[in-house]
Each structure stands twice: as C-alpha cells, then as structure tokens.
Structure 1
Amino acid sequence: MAGDPIEGQVLVLAAAKASVTPERLPELVDRAQTLLGPALERYRREYERLHAGDDLEVFLAEWGHWDELGDDLDLSERERSAVRRAHEEQLLRIGRRTDREAAFESALEIREPVCIGTSSDRGDGPNH
C-alpha cells in the first residue's frame, strides 16, 4: 500500500499540517522507505528503538536526521517537513494506543522519529 508504514489517516493529517497534497505524501513516504528499508539493521544497531510492532519499528535519531535523509532523497523543504511530520504523527498515534503519548511527546522535543516498515511482503531487502 502506498505510504506504508504510515497509516492513511496519519498521512492525511500530516499532509494538511505540512501543506502538501494528500496524494503526494504517500509517494514521498514510499521514497523514504526505499532508502530506510535496507538500512533497518543499521538503525537497530545505532539508534534507540522506541517501538517494535508486527510491521513497523520506530527509532529515535538525532535532531537534523531528516534534513540529511531529505538531502539523500532530494526533497524540497516542504516535502522533507511533510515526511518528518508523518513519522512524528505515526509515533504519536502509537503512543496514544499504548498509553505512552506523554513520553513520546517528550522524546520528540530533542530527537526525531524514523519509522521503518518491517512487513515480510515489502521486498526491499535480502530477508524480505
């Protein structure tokens, strides 16, 4: 599905907040996942994992991490902001579901979340 691992409602909310069309954000998130999926093992080694689900892992990276990823993906400032916001909103949604929203909000004050899909049907790495 377009926009995985970010949920559809989260994509709509993030697109509205970042002034990016709802049709464009899933494509941008997919581009980010193309870069992030093969780096999953590196994220597991180098970053704190805040959440692990059946098809998604969320890591906390240093502030400015999305600026670097945006450069790698050749995203405009608005596109970069939209993708970062989608990852933030996904983390907050997970926090609401797990009664950890306050802790996740505190973490977002100093670090940036990176959501990486782990579904076995993604086909983006040697084990997938």
Structure 2
Amino acid sequence: MDGNAVVLATAKASVGPGRMRDLLVAAASHLADRREAYRRRYEVVHDDDETLVFLVPEGHWADLGAELGTTDREADALRRAHEEHLRRLGSVHDRREEFEHALGIREAVVITTD
C-alpha cells in the first residue's frame, strides 16, 4: 500500500497511525485469502508485480468492516486508504481521471500479489 495514501487516509478518517497499521494488516490478510474470488467476481483495473486493484460496489468496505469487526470509522479509513492508493496509481499511469470517475460509483480494493 502506498505510504502517502495511508498517511492521507489516516488523517482524513481520524484513526491513529498504530491502529491504521493494524487495520491494514488485518484487511490485507483477509483479502489475500479471497484473491481468486475477487478475480472471478470484480473488475481488475490494475495488476502489477505487487498488487491487484479491483473496483467493487459501493458499500463493499462497510461489509468488509463488519466481517473484520471494525467500527464504521475504521472501515472508512480502510476504504480511503485503498482509494488513495488507486488515485496514486492513476497519477503514475496517466489514468487519474478514469479512476476518479470510477470511484464516483464504486470502491477500490487493493490486494497484494505475494
């Protein structure tokens, strides 16, 4: 996960850095176990040696947060971190506008490939 994306999401969601780190680790483990299910079900918008990025329906992070036992604020922080990661990828790969439009109607999920 992009470090700057995490810092920005942490600040916007008012979650402490230590808690954010714990949330990201828990979410990453949870999502890694479901990587192939995500591949079959959702659109992959970025795939490289480190991460897969999916677009999922709105409300997906609220549902994931419930599965992970997080508060609404913590689930929102995770959503923001994943969305910021996608925005940063959009800037790097000249796809920022495309990704911004997509995030207007869907949410992003980043899953590590290792």
TM-score, length of structure 1 as denominator length: 0.86
Work out the CA distance in 1 between the residues paired with 2:4 and 2:63. Answer: 26
Matched, 1:105 2:105: no
Of Structure 1 and Structure 2, the greater helix share is in 2
TM-score, length of structure 2 as denominator length: 0.97
Work out the CA distance in 2 between the residues paired with 1:10 and 1:55. Answer: 16
Matched, 1:76 2:76: no
Matched, 1:91 2:108: no
Work out the CA distance in 1 between the residues paired with 2:16 and 2:91. Answer: 26
Alignment root-mean-square deviation, CA? 0.7
Q: Secondary structure at the match of 2:56?
A: strand
Work out the CA distance in 2 between the residues paired with 1:64 and 1:17. Answer: 18
Partner amino acid, structure 2, of 1:83: L
Work out the CA distance in 1 between the residues paired with 2:73 and 2:102. Answer: 23
Work out the CA distance in 2 between the residues paired with 1:11 and 1:68. Answer: 20
| Higher RCO structure (Cα 8 Å, ≥6 apart) | 2
The 5 Å alignment of 1:48-67 reads 48-67=43-62
Runs ≥4 in structure 1, deviation > 6 angstroms?
none
Q: Which residue of 1 aligns with 2:23?
A: 28
Q: Which residue of 2 aligns with 1:17?
A: 12
Alpha-carbon deviation of 1:23?
A: 2.1
Q: Secondary structure at the match of 2:108?
A: strand
Partner amino acid, structure 1, of 2:96: E
Q: Secondary structure at the match of 2:70?
A: coil
Q: Report the number of matched residues.
A: 114
